Amino acid sequence: MSHSNISGLPKIPGGWQVKTLAVSGASFRLALPAVPDQVLEQTIQTSEPCSEDVAPYWACLWPTAPTMAACVLRQAWTPGTRALEIGCGIGLVGIAGLAAGLQVTLSDYVPEAVHLAVHNATLNQLPNHEAMHLDWRAPADDQFEVLLANDILYDTRDHDRLLSLVGHMLARRGTCWIGDPGRSDTARFLTRAAQAGFDVEVLTPEDMRGKSMSLPEAPQPRFQLIKLRRD
């Protein structure tokens, strides 16, 4: 269902829509741009040419996000564990974490994305959340037992920045989960992560079947779950 305006959200090109998404036995309502391409185009047009600060993709529900959300929902987390969603965008993965009992801070470089993710958490009556505007180049002085992210490895310029952020904000013996669609440059990131001292594990849906976080049998987009740990 599409709406030109939704209470609490600003006007955007193409307006907003609310979708109900079924994920691993749960159902979430999400407000998201009705025409994401129009939001992307406006972001690019109003940004400085060649600026590294252009971050237009927050408006999209990435294809692997439901699969990543399913992984989070299926895990037996200790209730109240502090988690940070990195690059939250619309917020589905963080919302899944809230539904699974995590205390989630929703973060993104784009303030509009943080606002939208908080809106969606509230829309699903999941109040145990916080919000953070997070620039990977300047990690916050806070640590979390769990870091969550989905499809954030598409720009190799950000790989070292991300690893620095994870090293700074991941608590000792914590774990970082990154959902990934098998991008060509992911191998480089995994190598850099190992060189940075992280214990790296990569799981495919086939690896996860039969385990506590096994995925539904329905066809899924190409997906792998990257786990980074440090002692």
- Residue-wise pLDDT for 120-169, tens only, equals 999 999 998 999 999 999 999 999 999 999 999 999 999 999 999 999 99
Coil, helix or strand for 162? helix
The one-letter amino acid at 210: G
What's the pTM value of the predicted model, to 2 decimals? 0.90
Task: Determine which of 26-35, 135-144, 165-174, 199-208 has the lowest per-residue pLDDT on average.
Answer: 199-208
Q: Is the per-residue pLDDT at 51 higher than 60?
A: no
- Residue-wise pLDDT for 57-104, tens only, equals 888 999 999 999 999 999 999 999 999 999 999 999 999 999 999 999
Fold assignment, 57-229? Rossmann fold (3.40.50)
- Scanning 170-230, the segments in alpha helix (DSSP H) are 186-195, 205-208
Residue-by-residue DSSP string for 94-151: HHHHHHTT-EEEEEESSHHHHHHHHHHHHHTT---EEEEE--TTS--S--EEEEEEES
In the prediction, which pLDDT does 218 show?
41
Each domain of the chain, given as residue ranges in start order, spans 57-229
Coil, helix or strand for 180? strand
Point out which residues pair with 17 in neighbouring strands. 2, 32
